[in-house]
Amino acid sequence: MQRLSCRFKNSITYSKAFDLSISLLGFDIKDVIEEVGNKIAEKLKKDNYKKVLFLIGPGNNGCDGLATIKNLNTTNVDVYLYKKGANFSELNKKYLKELKKIVRLVDLNEIKDKDYDCVVEAFFGTGFKSDLEYEAKKVIALCNKKKARKIAIDIPIKSFKAEKVYSILTKKTENAELIELNLHQKIKHKYVSALDLLDIKTFENERKGLNGKILIIAGSAKYLGSLYFSCYCASMFCDLVYYYCPEQQRNMSNEIPEAIPLAQEELKQKLLSDYFDSILIGPGITADKKDELKELLEICLKKKTKLILDAYGIDLIKDKKLNNNVLLTPHKGEFKRVFEKEPNLKNLIFSSKEKNCNILLKGKVDLLVTPESKVYKNILGNNGLTKGGTGDTLAGLITALASQNNLISSTKAGLLLLTHTADILEKEMGKNYSVRILIEKIPKVYYDLIRKIYG
C-alpha cells in the first residue's frame, strides 16, 4: 500500500472529487482520458523513443496509458504492452481491442530479455490501496534494473523508480509535472460540483455552539411549514437553530423541537450582540409585519452577518445597500417582481453587481452569480423539486452551512446536496417523494459523498 505525505493525500482527495464531479454532471470520462493521453503522448514524442514498454492496469490509470499509446505515432515507435490486474473496465477493454494491431503484448520472460528506451508505468491510480501481485512486483523490479527512462502516469507505484511523473490535475509527487485538463477548468469555474465539498467543514469543534449558531426568521399563521422545513433541515448541519416567527407569537416547540424560539426583545439583543453566525429571513412570511422586518434587516446589514434572503425577505431589499455577505434566492417570478427585469443571465449579472450581493436564481438550471460577475450553474435535480417547501429547505441548508463556511461555498454545496439527493430519490421512488423525505435523506447523501472523496 502506498504511503503519502499529507500534502499529496490532499492531491489525491482533489482528484477523487474531480472524478466524482465528472460522474455526477454526466460528462464522459473517455473525453478526459483522451485529453490526458494526447498531452502525455506529445511529451513522449519530443524524446524520440524507439522502443517503449507500457505497464497497464485494469482501471482509469491503465486507460490513461492506453490513450497515450493511441496518440503516439506508432509508425516510428515499437510499443510493447504488459497488462496485469483483475476486472478490466469496459473502457479499458475497448482500448485494448482498438490497439491490438499496433502493440505487442509481452510477458514476464519477454520483458526480462528485451531492452527498451522508455518504460511507462500506468498500473494503478489514486484509488489503489492493495499490494501488488507477485508477478507485477517482479516486472517492476526488472524494469528498475533496465537503463530505460522510467516514467509514471499520475502517481507511481511506490517500488517503481520513476524519473519523471506526469500527474493529472494536482502534483502527487515532488518531481511530478502537472497535466492540466480543459474539463477541470470548466467544472471548477462554471459548475456546482463535488469539488465544492472540499471547501466545506461541519462539526469540527467539540464544544456546543462552535459548530454554528443560526437564526431563521420565517413562517406565518398560513405558512408555518416554511419555518418547519427550513429549521428541520438546518438543524442537521449546525449546532443551534433559533427561530422567530413574526406572526405567530407563541412557543412552537412541539411542532419544531429541533429549534429554539425567540421572543422579540431577546431576538434584538442577540442580533445586536453578534450572536449568530448566519441568518435567514423570508420563508413563509407575509407582508403584514413589513416595518418590523425592515428594522431587523437593517440591523443585520449593519452587522454584516452572513445573510440569506428568501421569498418575502427579497422584497425588503428595495432602496437598501447590500454587501457581498448577502445572498438572495429568488425564483424567476420573484426576481422579475423585485428587480422589474426579465430573469435572464444578463440581468442577473447586472442586478448582482448593482446591489453588490450574491444572487441564486432558482430554476430548471440554477444560476449563482457574484458581484464580481462569476457565474456558476447547477444542472442537477428534477421536477420533484417543484413542490412547496423545497426552497425553504434549501435556504435553511445554505444558512446552516454558512454558519461554518464562506457564503459562496455554502451555497454551492447546499445546491449540490439538495439536488443530488433529489436525483437519488427519483431513482428510488420516482418524483413522488415528500419534502420531509428529501430532508431526511440529505445527511446520508452528504456522508456518502464525503466517504467517496476522503475514504
Render the burial of 156-171: b for 16+ CB within 10 Å, e for the rest: bbeebebebbbbbbbb
Q: Is pLDDT above 70 for 3?
A: no
Give dist(CA 312, CA 285) in Å, integer. Answer: 6
- CATH number for the domain harbouring residue 322: 3.40.1190.20
Nearest to 82 by CA among 149, 161, 143, 158: 143
Per-residue pLDDT, averaged over 299-307, amounts to 94
Beta carbons of 402 and 308 less than 8 angstroms apart:
yes
CATH classification at residue 170:
3.40.50.10260
Determine contact, residues 146/115, Cβ cutoff 8 Å.
Answer: yes
Are residues 319 and 338 located together in one domain of the fold? yes
Stretch 239-256: mean pLDDT = 83
Q: Which residue has the cell 403584514?
A: 288
The answer to the question of residue 294 being in a domain is yes
- Residue 132's pLDDT is what? 67
Give Cα 424 to chain centroid, integer Å.
Answer: 16
Task: Evaluate if residue 147 carries a pLDDT over 60.
Answer: yes
The answer to the question of residue 126 being in a domain is: yes
Beta bridge partners of 81: 54, 105
User: Which pLDDT score is estimated for 79?
Assistant: 96
- Res. 207: pLDDT tops 70: yes
> Is residue 201 located within the same domain as residue 173?
no
What confidence score (pLDDT) does residue 346 get?
98
60 and 121 co-located in one domain: yes
| Chain centre distance of CA 323 | 25
pLDDT reported for residue 2 = 37
Asked whether the predicted pLDDT for residue 341 surpasses 50, the reply is: yes
Check residue 435 and give its pLDDT: 98
Amino acid in the structure at residue 327? L
450: three-class secondary structure by DSSP = helix
Classify residue 39: in a domain, yes or no. Answer: yes
Residues 134 and 67 in one domain: yes
The Cα 79–Cα 219 span in angstroms is: 69
Same domain membership, residue 296 and residue 178: no
Instruction: Please tell me the predicted confidence (pLDDT) of residue 7.
Output: 42
How many domains in the chain?
Answer: 2
The C-alpha cell of 40 is what?
502525455
Mean pLDDT, the chain, integer: 92
The answer, yes or no, to whether residue 125 has pLDDT greater than 80, is no
Burial class from Cβ neighbours inside 10 Å (0-12, 13-18, 19+) for residue 116 reads buried
Q: Is the pLDDT of residue 99 over 80?
A: yes
Q: Are 418 and 398 in contact (CB under 8 A)?
A: no
Kindly state whether residue 76 falls inside one of the protein's structural domains.
Answer: yes
Contact in structure between 213 and 276 (CB atoms under 8 Å): yes
Q: Does residue 310 lie within any of the structural domains?
A: yes
Query: Final residue of a domain: which of 165, 188, 211?
Result: 188
Q: What is the pLDDT of residue 195?
A: 97
Is there a single domain that holds both residue 169 and residue 272?
Answer: no
Q: Three-state SS across 394-443?
A: HHHHHHHHHCCCCHHHHHHHHHHHHHHHHHHHHHHHCCCCCHHHHHHHHH
Asked if pLDDT for residue 5 goes beyond 60, the answer is no
* 331 plus 286 within the same structural domain: yes
Q: Is residue 394 part of a domain?
A: yes
pLDDT digits (tens, 9 = 90+) for 357-378: 999 999 999 999 999 999 999 9
Query: In this structure, are 313 and 371 located in the same domain?
Result: yes
Question: What is the pLDDT at residue 10?
Answer: 83
Question: Which has the minimum average pLDDT: 174-178, 337-341, 400-404?
Answer: 174-178
Residue 1 lies in a domain: no
Q: How far apart are CA 217 and CA 337, in angstroms?
A: 22
On whether both 118 and 41 belong to a single domain, the answer is: yes
Average pLDDT over residues 256-266: 91
Tell whether the model's pLDDT for residue 335 goes beyond 60.
yes
Q: What is the pLDDT of residues 229-245, one digit of tens each?
A: 999 999 999 999 999 99
Residues 297 and 209 in one domain: yes
Domain end point (choices 188, 216, 234) = 188
Q: What pLDDT does 129 receive?
A: 52
In this prediction, what percent of the chain has a pLDDT beyond 70?
95
Residue 204 burial (C-beta neighbours within 10 Å; 0-12, 13-18, 19+): exposed
The per-residue pLDDT for 298 is: 93
Q: Which residue has the higher pLDDT, 255 or 38?
A: 38
Average pLDDT rounded to a whole number, residues 63-91: 91
Same-domain status, 357 and 240: yes
286 pLDDT exceeds 90?
no
% the chain with pLDDT above 90: 79
pLDDT of 351 > 60? The answer is yes
297 located within any domain: yes
| Mean pLDDT calculated for residue range 76-93 | 91
Give the domain-ending residue among 169, 188, 207: 188
Radius of gyration, alpha carbons of the chain:
27
Domain range holding 273?
Answer: 194-454
Task: Based on the fold, state whether residues 332 and 378 are members of the same structural domain.
Answer: yes
Q: For 8-28, how does the pLDDT look when each residue is reduced to its tens digit (9 = 90+)?
A: 458 889 989 999 999 999 999
| pTM for the structure as a whole | 0.91
Is 299's pLDDT higher than 90? yes
State yes or no: pLDDT of 394 exceeds 70: yes
